[in-house]
Amino acid sequence: MSAMARYVVARATDIPEGERAIVEVAGREVGIFHLDGEFHALLHRCPHLGGPLCLGPVVGLIESAGPGDLRFDPERKFLTCPWHGWEFDLRTGQSYFDPQRVRARRVPVAVEHGQAIAAADDDENGRRQGPYVAEVIPIAVEEDYLVLTMRR
Amino acid sequence: MSLAGFSGAVIDCDVHANVPSLETLLPYMAPVWTQWTRERAWKGPLGVATVYPPNAPTTARAEWRPDDGRVPASELALLREHVLDAGNVERAIVNCYYGVDSVRHPDLGNALASAINDWLIAEWLDKDERLAASLVVPARDPNAAIREIERVGDHPGFVQVLLPVRSDRLYGSRIWHPMYAAMAARGLVAGIHWGGTPEGAPSPSGWPSWYAEEYAAEWQVYMAQLTSLIAEGTFQAVPELRVSFLESGFTWVPIWGWRMNKEWKGLRREVPWIDRPPLDIVRDHMRFSIAPTHGGSADDLATVLRWLGTDELLLYATDYPHLHDDDLSALLASLDEDGRERLMAGNARAWYRL
Amino acid sequence: MSVQSPALGRVHREGAERLAVIDTDVHPRMTPTDPRFNPLLPQRWRDYLDLIGLRSGELEAQVPRQRPFASRTDAMPPGGGIPGGDPAFAAVQLLDAYDMTAAMLNNITAVSWARGTGNHPVEFQFALARAINDWHHAYWLEADPRWRASINVPWEQPAEAVRELERCRGLSDRFVQVLLESRADEPIGNPRYWPLFEAAEALGIPIAFHVGGNRRMTASGTPSFYFEDHCDFPLRNFNIVASLIFEGVFDRFPGLRIAFLEQGWSWVVPYAWRLDASWRALRAEVAHLQRPPSEYIREHFWFSSQPMEEPEHLEWFVEVLAMFEDFGLADRLMYSSDYPHWDFDAPDEAVPLTLPLESRRRILAGNASALYGIPV
């Protein structure tokens, strides 16, 4: 059973509102989305046939009670796979067509202040510094960083 | 008629009543039509001979062609002799395909449809309590179809409305939804059946040369209708609607259903009224007669049935008087005892509420 | 911080052995005003394009695809243009990403330009067919030895189609197939198309059918939705197969080989049962036929894999393939991606890893290698 680790992957300001980024962490790729003031992260791999999920269009929800009825909710955001178009709730990763059994892998993402990161002992907290590592770019204590929690 | 050793109750979901001649129907039509047809020496719609060439082996089995030259399946006496009294037939559903859809004159088409239904009542339904029937409608015109459904659809013998599988508008189209509502309100099943005369070629690619070629490829007409019914949300619009596919075969249904399921998962937003996997909708709202089966071995059929996911979808039928090169024993062998009972009667009894 | 651009594929490995991959269905695409394509047309037809343009008779154009250009949203070439329009980018995103030995170019947007009758002047269609094939030759085949190409021909004008077929084979022996849309004005077995079969048989190259755009979509009218249209792709198969068989095409051309591309394959065995039953019942009508239909199917047909079947329970895939292979078709299923379309199948994902190694080896490359003469 592999342990979970936390990875600093970006400054919060690197991903403006409405944008996304794909980062490579611990041998996997993760897409991070900044929407409506929140960050969401999903494994960059569609559970259907392995497509590059996080490159897909983000759309609002369309539902219907019957032919002729089209209900559009732009506030409910779904990531659609750029290949076969499967819809995944951006916040939960659940597929639209079978939310209980089919989902994209959600990756917990937190915003943490640089001061807290710099003050922590890496080994005790199990926190690893990812692509933004101290030796490449120093952690600035006054900034916010995006931290992913993933298996090592 | 061999039932491959099956000795339980039988409901035959597709037997034909062939109109012997136009003269049979004229008494059921307004007098103007007697003059109209005589003036033109018009003998009846051409559509039937196109889809059932009279002398083709598939149009009637040799043992079901009367020696005295009567049109096969044209009388109740023949149906009793060949089907009803020949086996343990509890009920039979009579379908009359007379090519009414090939008639362009709207009043003549309406009159013919009504006459066929009145003839079915008088000469078939009222004379043998084992019989149920499909009513015939002017299938080019949804409004005319609704009027005929309203006129005779409450007769207790009518359990279904016959729709020829070839049409000018796919049967899922919204123009048909009010017609389906009229059916569902009366508990009538929509029976999609061999036949029809669309405007263009009966295929995506021209007119087949050989009847055998056309006969074999006819699956594609049924498949397009099934996809349309699903895609247009017909069963969301009319939740009580049931649809039977008659003379369609069924070995294609699982793979067709898997394809619809696969595409729906990614294309759902275009057809958001489809609220669950299409193959589940097929299971809830559709049934398929087994004449023809056109199956492989009993093992092959058992595999197909397992892929269908339920033994409730199939309806036994002879398709009297037609011939299909089928082996009922292989189909029976691929089912367990309960499955055989359902196939031969139970599914039909539940589906048609007999 | 940059967004990952072409998705990285994985080289297919099985223990220490790398399985070769041949992709039998890739779609190059250009617009008629593309600066590399347009000059390949005679001036007269370039002027015609400016004046009148390409008036599409395709019904499919009236039913919008779910994605722009019906393509993966990650397939836009970074240098500009449309998915399938940049040979270098396609080589990176497909051939390199999956370490492919070879891939077959089937230009289906152009297939209806080239058909030979209807909505365009006939000579214009001939010129388009030549220009399409010249574009493939100059910018794809010459640029990368891994590409193979099918030949676009005006099939409704078989004499010209034969001329174009022979011209392209003279240009390159990496033109390895004739491409037809899976509908013609008449059922394809009709004797008027036989000159094309004769030429293909003589050259030893297959005739391929692929879904494209055309003028009639079903026997009973036009679907309303792309979902419906997409599910309906396999409808055309039944008329093609019945026509080729019952018209006696394979008795007349015993060396002819037929490829079905993007037309499915799980329908084949149930349809073979039906064809044989139909033949047994109506044999008197088609007494010219020398053998049961199923034998012709075993001898003359190949099938590309995409869109890969997804049975309701994934463990049934093995049974579906077994039914197909046990029928005598084990050397007939060929992996295809459909790149750059949205319903793309990657070789390392779409061909289930649960299949026996030998099945995967055949499907991923072996069967296509034999059909097209591509060494692996």
Eight-class DSSP state of C96: I
| Domain presence at residue B234 | yes
Contact status, residue B86 vs residue B102, Cβ threshold 8 Å: no
Eight-class DSSP state of B35: H
Q: SS3 of B353, please?
A: coil
Q: Which of B4-8, B103-107, B259-263 has the lowest mean pLDDT?
A: B4-8
CA gap B271, A113 in Å, rounded: 45
- Contact residues, chain B, for C189 at CB < 8 Å: 209, 213
| Domain presence at residue B5 | no
Contact status, residue B326 vs residue B293, Cβ threshold 8 Å: yes
- What whole-number percentage of chain C has pLDDT above 70? 95
Answer whether B7 touches C (CB < 8 Å).
no
Answer whether A108 touches B (CB < 8 Å).
no
CA distance to partner chain A, nearest, from residue C272 (Å)? 30
Answer whether C67 touches A (CB < 8 Å).
yes
CA gap C206, C160 in Å, rounded: 18
Answer whether C38 touches B (CB < 8 Å).
no
Task: For residue range C361-374, list pLDDT tens digits in order.
Answer: 999 999 999 999 99
Task: For residue range C40-58, list pLDDT tens digits in order.
Answer: 999 999 999 999 998 877 8
CA A109 to chain centre: 7
| Domain presence at residue B176 | yes
Contact across the interface for B173 and C246, Cβ inside 8 Å = no
Q: Which amino acid is at A87?
A: E
Tokens standing for B48?
A: 């039937």
Element (H, E) at B12: strand B10-16
Contact across the interface for A65 and B273, Cβ inside 8 Å = yes
Neighbours of chain C (3+ CB pairs under 8 A): A, B
Element (H, E) at B135: strand B131-136
Q: What CATH number should be reported for the domain holding residue B21?
A: 3.20.20.140
pLDDT number for residue C233: 96
Neighbours of chain B (3+ CB pairs under 8 A): A, C
Q: Which amino acid is at B57?
A: P
Answer whether C328 touches B (CB < 8 Å).
no
- Predicted confidence band at C4 (pLDDT cuts at 50, 70, 90)? very low
For B51, list phi and psi in degrees, rounded to 5.
Answer: -95, -20
> What number is the average pLDDT over the span C301-319?
96
Contact across the interface for A67 and B268, Cβ inside 8 Å = no
Task: For residue range C144-157, list pLDDT tens digits in order.
Answer: 999 999 999 999 99
pLDDT number for residue A122: 55
Pairing of strands C333-334, C301-304: parallel
| Domain presence at residue B1 | no
For B93, list phi and psi in degrees, rounded to 5.
Answer: -105, 120
Mean pLDDT of chain B: 97
Contact status, residue A128 vs residue B300, Cβ threshold 8 Å: no
Q: Helix, strand, coil % (nearest 5) of chain B?
A: 45, 10, 40
CA gap A8, C235 in Å, rounded: 53
> What number is the average pLDDT over the span A62-87?
97
Mean pLDDT of chain C: 93
For A43, list phi and psi in degrees, rounded to 5.
Answer: -60, 135
Contact across the interface for B273 and A64, Cβ inside 8 Å = yes
Containing structural domain, residue B177: 10-351
Contact status, residue B276 vs residue B339, Cβ threshold 8 Å: no
Eight-class DSSP state of A11: E
pLDDT number for residue C201: 98
Q: What is the 3-state secondary structure (H, E, C) of C25-69?
A: EECCCCCCCCCCCHHHCCHHHHHHHHHCCCCCCCHHHHCCCCCHH
Contact across the interface for A55 and C346, Cβ inside 8 Å = no
Task: For residue range C211-230, list pLDDT tens digits in order.
Answer: 999 889 999 999 999 999 99
> What number is the average pLDDT over the span B281-301?
96
| Domain presence at residue B145 | yes
- Contact residues, chain C, for B262 at CB < 8 Å: 307, 310
Provide CB contacts within 8 A for C162, sequence distance 6+.
C153, C195, C196, C198, C199
Provide CB contacts within 8 A for C250, sequence distance 6+.
C244, C256, C296, C299, C300
Output the CA torsion C240→C242→C246→C250 (10° steps): 50
Nearest CA in chain A to C307: A84
Going C9 to C14 to C20 to C26, the CA torsion angle's sign is negative
Q: Which of A135-144, B295-304, B335-344, C110-119 has the lowest mean pLDDT?
A: A135-144
Contact status, residue B338 vs residue C296, Cβ threshold 8 Å: no
For A99, list phi and psi in degrees, rounded to 5.
Answer: -60, -25
pLDDT number for residue C15: 52
Contact across the interface for A87 and B232, Cβ inside 8 Å = no
Contact across the interface for A84 and C73, Cβ inside 8 Å = no
| Domain presence at residue B3 | no
- Predicted confidence band at A141 (pLDDT cuts at 50, 70, 90)? low
Q: SS3 of B136, please?
A: strand
CA gap B209, C22 in Å, rounded: 37
Nearest CA in chain A to B235: A66
- What whole-number percentage of chain B has pLDDT above 70? 99
CA distance to partner chain A, nearest, from residue C251 (Å)? 41
Question: Going along B224-304, which residue ranges are E strands?
Answer: 243-246, 286-289
Contacting A residues, span 65-94, partner chain B, CB-CB under 8 Å: 65-71, 81, 84-87
| Domain presence at residue B2 | no
| Domain presence at residue B149 | yes
- Contact residues, chain B, for A81 at CB < 8 Å: 266
Contact status, residue A68 vs residue A58, Cβ threshold 8 Å: no
Contact across the interface for C73 and A56, Cβ inside 8 Å = yes
The minimal CB distance from B205 to the residues C188, C222, C264 is found for C188
Whether the per-residue pLDDT at C105 is higher than 90: the answer is: yes
CA gap C29, A106 in Å, rounded: 36
Pairing of strands C175-181, C207-210: parallel
- Contact residues, chain C, for B203 at CB < 8 Å: 187, 216, 219, 239
Number of domains forming the structure of chain B = 1
ipTM for this model: 0.97
Higher pLDDT, A25 or C172: C172
Domains in chain C: ranges and CATH: 22-372 (3.20.20.140)
Interface test mutation site (partner B, options A48, A49, A97, max chain B beta carbons within 10 A): A97
CA C204 to chain centre: 17
pLDDT number for residue A134: 32
pLDDT number for residue A120: 67
Answer whether B194 touches A (CB < 8 Å).
no
